[in-house]
């Protein structure tokens, strides 16, 4: 260990921008369509990007948002902003102007870096007063020839990032992460995935997702090489595996479904050594297909939530015998299953999953009300104490200590790995003249996990086309309804509110 850095649970915690210093300077760290970098070259590039950000003279802790495609700038922003004393706010490239405007305003972003096309798509008022906008090309130029700055001396509890995630109601909320949150997340995943410097990770998940970003950080902690890919078709992923001898691939269930439908040459499938799943549970048939198609690859089902990053994983040796389990706690996570009174459940007794320990985020940005709902004092049985994340998910723990997902208490729709807020869709739909009320439901879909079904209360039965056109203009593709039903009336409960349970029972199959 290097002197001067604190330890948490036996792991030394350094500022997240020190990550590249761990790698062999001559070893490949980043490769892709924009060129390749060794660890030494990428560290120098990081210093120049951080220097460019520092040159704007923003106050320490100011938020800098990035709305860009995968490439060297996107890969380095999680390290460059903290090195410059700033807080990084990555924005999903699939979002459209209204969602971006909310994130910029809510985070109080002082700087937005975007591709030219994305910046041009913003409308008047989308960028708050006082927020500068700069093109990704400017950042790329600075990385190739600007003045660099040295690694930071940030403390473990200094803020490093705000990741925006949808809630079951309302607009996306920002999960606040420290240097320690990011560093320990990288250590944990690198440890249980057994990553090494010889590993080559295909980064196909968006960097705005917690695990999408961790693809980079955990691979770099292990000294391996990352290959960012904005794929258009699943075949692009297969080609990358072949061309770059990829060993590690993270995905969501819909992507795995598409990949198993391809005709993989045996020698290409054999290059993969590690498959990691997030964003929804794998079905037994899909597990069987993946095991047959990639027999040399270890399969890691995982469960997590952005508020605490990653909670559990199922060791590959148990996948065949316990395919429905979400596994056990990852390093630095304490996972308790509790009753309503906070006491621990017995074996096989359902209870709420509570995540304790140093991976727990710092709450929601500038949102004390919603923070208080999710971040509460740890149960008395916790060895950590302090704040814990009460997930709202019901699980059970068997006699062997393996966890099983039972149900989700909130109304979130999970589609293709995306967490979708029904309220956001509903609020957009009712802005169409003639729509009185709207209800968005998640319905089972073999490819997406869940698809969106939108119910409208309107007098005009032909209004669905106008609503669909409006949603396509205002919401990203993954939020678009699979189908729309127009109803003359919605059922009501005794309080006069929409009876969502009745609607889900009739239309949610």
pLDDT tens for each residue of 18-56: 999 999 999 999 999 888 999 999 999 999 999 999 999
pLDDT digits (tens, 9 = 90+) for 346-370: 999 999 999 999 999 999 999 999 9
Q: What is the mean pLDDT of residues 149-175?
A: 87
Q: 464-474 vs 422-429: helix axis angle to the nearest 10?
A: 120
The pairing of strands 325-329 and 403-408 is: antiparallel
Q: Is the pLDDT of residue 306 over 80?
A: yes
Residue 167 has pLDDT above 60, yes or no: no
Q: Any residues with CB less than 8 A from the CB of 33 and at least 6 apart, and which?
A: 71
Query: Strand ranges (DSSP E) for 262-315?
Result: 274-277, 298-303, 312-313
- Return the percentage of the chain with pLDDT > 90, whole number: 79
* Of 77-86, 306-315, 404-413, minimum mean pLDDT range: 404-413
Spatial contact of 86 and 62, defined as CB atoms under 8 Å apart: yes
Instruction: For residue 289, give the nearest of 322, 318, 338, 253 by alpha carbon.
Output: 253
pLDDT band at 11 (very low <50, low <70, confident <90, very high): very high
Please tell me the predicted confidence (pLDDT) of residue 423. Answer: 80
Report the 3 state secondary structure along 241-270.
HHHHCCCEEEECHHHHHHHHCCCCCHHHHC
d(CA 311, CA 328): 8
Find where tokens 């308790």 sit.
Answer: 336
Rounded to an integer, what distance in angstroms lies between the CA atom of residue 69 and that of residue 82? 20
pTM of the model: 0.88
Residue 280 predicted with pLDDT over 80: no
Which pLDDT belongs to residue 451? 94
DSSP 119: H
Q: Tell me if residue 325 falls in helix, strand or coil.
A: strand
Q: Yes or no: say if 507 and 452 are a contact pair by the CB < 8 Å rule.
A: no
* pLDDT tier for residue 166 given thresholds of 50, 70 and 90: low
Rounded to 10 degrees, what is the CA torsion of 300, 306, 309, 310? -30
C-alpha neighbours within 13 Å on the C-beta side of residue 407: 5
Q: Reduce the DSSP state of residue 79 to 3 states and report it.
A: helix
Fold category of 413-507 in CATH: GMP Synthetase; Chain A, domain 3 (3.30.300)
Query: For residue 234, what pLDDT is reported?
Result: 93
Q: Say how many C-beta atoms besides its own lie within 10 A of residue 406's C-beta.
A: 14
Quick one: pLDDT band at residue 509, thresholds 50, 70, 90? low
| CATH of region 30-154 | 3.40.50.980
| Whether residue 168 has pLDDT greater than 60 | no
Residue 355's H or E segment, with its range, is strand 351-356
**CA distance linking residue 355 with residue 283, whole number of Å:** 25
User: For the domain 201-296, what is the CATH code?
Assistant: 3.40.50.980
Position with higher pLDDT, 409 vs 219? 219
Which strands, in side-by-side order, build the sheet including 435-445?
A: 435-445, 449-458, 483-487
Contact (Cβ atoms closer than 8 angstroms) between residue 309 and residue 181: yes
Tokens of 239: 């080609």
CA distance 32 to 91: 21
Per the DSSP assignment, residues forming a β-bridge with 313 are: 302, 328
pLDDT averaged over every residue in the chain? 93
**Domain residue spans in the chain?**
30-154, 201-296, 413-507
**Are residues 442 and 452 in contact, defined by beta-carbon separation less than 8 angstroms?**
yes
Comparing 60-64, 138-142, 143-147, 418-422, the range with the smallest average pLDDT is 418-422
CA angle 305, 307, 309 (to 5 degrees): 55
Contact 229, 32 (CB under 8 A): yes
Instruction: Say yes or no: do domains 30-154 and 201-296 share a fold.
Output: yes
pLDDT band at 409 (very low <50, low <70, confident <90, very high): low
What is the full DSSP assignment across 157-187?
A: TSEEEEEEE--SSSS-EEEEEEHHHHHHHHH
Cα distance between residue 495 and residue 309, in whole Å: 37
436-485 tens-digit pLDDT? 889 999 999 988 989 999 999 999 999 999 999 999 999 999 999 999 99
Question: What span, in angstroms and rounded, lies between the C-alpha atoms of 223 and 385?
Answer: 33
């Amino acid at each position: 260990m290097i002197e001067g850095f604190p330890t948490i649970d036996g792991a030394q915690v350094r500022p997240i921008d020190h990550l590249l210093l761990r790698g062999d300077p001559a070893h490949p760290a980043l490769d892709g369509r924009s060129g390749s970098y060794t660890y030494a070259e990428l560290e120098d590039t990081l210093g120049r990007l951080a220097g460019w950000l520092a040159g704007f003279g923003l106050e320490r802790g100011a938020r800098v948002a990035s709305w860009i495609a995968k490439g060297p700038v996107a890969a380095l922003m999680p390290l460059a902003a903290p090195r410059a004393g700033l807080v990084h706010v990555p924005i999903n490239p699939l979002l459209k102007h209204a969602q971006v405007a909310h994130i910029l305003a809510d985070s109080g972003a002082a700087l937005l870096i975007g591709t030219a096309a994305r910046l041009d798509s913003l409308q008047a008022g989308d960028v708050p007063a006082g927020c500068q906008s700069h093109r990704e090309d400017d950042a790329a130029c600075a990385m190739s020839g600007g003045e660099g700055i040295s690694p930071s001396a940030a403390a473990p509890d200094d803020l490093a990032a705000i990741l925006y995630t949808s809630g079951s109601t309302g607009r996306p909320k920002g999960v606040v992460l420290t240097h320690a949150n990011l560093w320990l997340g990288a250590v944990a995943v690198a440890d249980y995935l057994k990553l090494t410097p010889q590993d080559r990770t295909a980064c196909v998940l968006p960097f705005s997702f917690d695990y999408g970003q961790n693809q980079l950080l955990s691979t770099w902690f292990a000294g391996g090489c990352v290959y960012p890919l904005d794929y258009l078709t699943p075949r692009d992923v297969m080609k990358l595996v072949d061309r770059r001898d990829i060993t590690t691939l993270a995905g969501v269930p819909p992507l795995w479904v598409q990949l198993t439908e391809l005709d993989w040459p045996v020698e290409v499938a054999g290059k993969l050594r590690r498959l990691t799943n997030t964003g929804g549970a794998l079905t037994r048939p899909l597990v069987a297909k993946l095991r047959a198609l990639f027999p040399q690859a270890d399969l890691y089902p995982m469960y997590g939530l952005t508020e605490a990053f990653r909670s559990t994983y199922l060791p590959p040796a148990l996948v065949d015998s316990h395919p429905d389990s979400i596994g056990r706690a990852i390093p630095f996570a304490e996972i308790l299953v509790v009753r309503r009174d906070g006491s621990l459940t017995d074996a096989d007794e359902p209870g709420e999953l509570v995540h304790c320990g140093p991976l727990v985020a710092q709450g929601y940005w500038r949102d004390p009300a919603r923070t208080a709902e999710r971040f509460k004092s740890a149960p008395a049985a916790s060895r950590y104490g302090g704040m814990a994340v009460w997930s709202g998910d019901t699980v059970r723990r068997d006699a062997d200590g393996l966890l099983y997902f039972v149900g989700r208490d909130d109304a979130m729709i999970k589609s293709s790995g995306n967490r979708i807020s029904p309220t956001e869709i509903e609020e957009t739909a009712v802005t169409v003249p003639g729509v009185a009320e709207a209800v968005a439901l998640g319905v089972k879909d073999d490819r997406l996990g869940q698809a969106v079904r939108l119910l409208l209360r309107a007098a005009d039965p032909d209004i669905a086309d106008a609503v669909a056109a409006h949603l396509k203009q205002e919401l990203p593709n993954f939020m678009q309804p699979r189908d729309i039903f127009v109803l003359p009336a919605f059922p009501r409960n005794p309080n006069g509110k929409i009876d969502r349970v009745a609607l889900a029972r009739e239309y949610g199959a």
